[in-house]
Amino acid sequence: MTDTVTGAGVPALFGARVYPSALEWIARRAEAFVIPLAALIVGMALFSLFIALVGKSPVLLYETMWRGGFGSWFSIQNSLSRAAPLLLSALCVALPARLGLVVIGGEGAIVLGGVAAAAIGVALSGAPSPIVILAMGVAGLAAGGIWIGAVGALRHYRAVNETISSLLMAYIAIALMNQLVEGPLRDPASLNKPSTQPLADIYRIGNIPGMDVHWGLVVGVVACILSWVLIEKTRWGFAARIAGGNVRAAQVQGLAVGPLIVGFTALAGGFAGLAGMLEVAAVQGSANASLAAGYGYTGILVAFLARHNPLAIIPVAILLGGIDASGGLIQRRLDLPDATVLVLQGMIFIVILFSETFYGRFKAFNPDLWKRPDLLKGTA
């Protein structure tokens, strides 16, 4: 379809004085926005039904959720803090997804990124703080990148299913962390919660000026924007999208699919590893079992809700960060188990995946019918 104003010689359906591609662009964007939003609302409606069935008030629940997530400056800051690791762990799912891979073991990369960063931070203690923080970031990126990059390599060179291998590797990573934190890296002073040596205060990452949110949020947002540029505006992103559509076609075109897959999965894992580094450097101050807090799994949901679009990940991560943040308040106010938020997330996830079936089915999103409303009347 052309960008020019149509005139003579163009099929009658497009009529005169319209901009077909612009309309189509709007229609596609509207569809990509309305369907997930509707799915989100349906998911929340189903959840209110569930809450009503267990004898609580859905109205009170959503009110509490709003208050805990976005109702005050304090809770907004809390939500943004939780969104920071979600941005990065969602990229760990979204980037490989562009190549047609379903990687769900981001939790492993988070955990190992955190341990690697903590180990480097302690080993380099005494060095100037910018160097140490940078080294910790690189260590997190490298550890996560190697871990998920290996998943990509196994996928391409050995045809090992990436969904299962990444999850198995997440369990292995957590065992590895436990071994390191209990053994060689253990701080003897950490008694009932084994941890690595605490980082010196100068190596900790502070807050964004004027906010109670650490710099990880900025890192996450920048990573999302860079990922979007990578996918949409560079030739590597273009090659990845071709390979994601059809591997054979990409190989016939002479694209180096192997390095592409390993590179994308390594970058994705690197982002998750960076999330682990930020958890250590900004939140925990040392590596311990709290690194496996489930950000990797919530990240899967964020990525799917955003339809693997890195820019859409930003608002979705903040929304889910808010839901996460309100969990504690829901627990106290409504006397519900802490798994309530998990149930909500599961329901939304199922409805979102189910909504895939509706793409291309609604007449409202068909630009041809916008231009010829009479066609719509004929079929209605």
Partner 1 sequence: MDATEIGLWGVPLAILGGAIRVSTPFIFVSLGEAITERSGRINLGLEGTLVFGAMTAYAVAVMTNSPWLGLLAAAFAGLCFGLFHGWICKFPKVNDIAIGIALMLFGSGLAFFFGKPFIKPKAPNLPAIPFGGWSDIPQVQAALDVNVLFLIGAVLSVILWWAFRNTRAGLIVRVVGDSSDAARAMGLNPDTVRLAATGVGGALAGIGGAYLSLYYPGSWTERISSGQGLMAVALVIFARWNPLGCFAAALLFGGAGALGPALQSVGVTQGYYLFYAAPYILTLIIMIATSSPTRSLAGAPGELSITK
Q: Which residues bind partner 1 (CB under 8 A)?
A: 102, 104, 154, 156-161, 163-165, 167-169, 171-172, 175-176, 178-179, 182, 297, 300-301, 304, 336-340, 342-343, 345-347, 349-350, 353-354, 356-357, 359
Judged by CB, which is closer to partner 1: 272, or 278?
272
Min dist CB 110 to partner 1, Å, is 17
Please name the residue that has the structure tokens 């980037």. Answer: 95
- Rounded CA separation 225/217 (Å): 12
- Rounded CA separation 207/321 (Å): 17
- Rounded CA separation 175/171 (Å): 6
Min dist CB 183 to partner 1, Å, is 8
Alpha helices in the chain (DSSP H): 20-53, 58-69, 73-98, 106-123, 129-158, 162-182, 216-233, 235-245, 247-252, 257-278, 295-305, 310-325, 327-334, 340-355, 367-371, 373-379
Judged by CB, which is closer to partner 1: 284, or 345?
345
| Backbone angles phi and psi of 128, in degrees to 5 | -60, 145
* Residue 154 vs residues 148, 166, 194, 373: alpha-carbon distances, Å: 10, 10, 33, 52
Min dist CB 239 to partner 1, Å, is 20
Min dist CB 287 to partner 1, Å, is 14
DSSP label at residue 195: B
Judged by CB, which is closer to partner 1: 208, or 342?
342
Amino acid identity of residue 231, one-letter, is I
270 CB-near residues (< 8 Å, 6+ apart): 109, 140, 141, 142, 144, 145, 148
Min dist CB 105 to partner 1, Å, is 10
Min dist CB 178 to partner 1, Å, is 4
Would you state the structure tokens that stand for residue 199, as one six-digit string? 């980082």
Judged by CB, which is closer to partner 1: 13, or 256?
256
Judged by CB, which is closer to partner 1: 6, or 326?
326
Min dist CB 156 to partner 1, Å, is 7
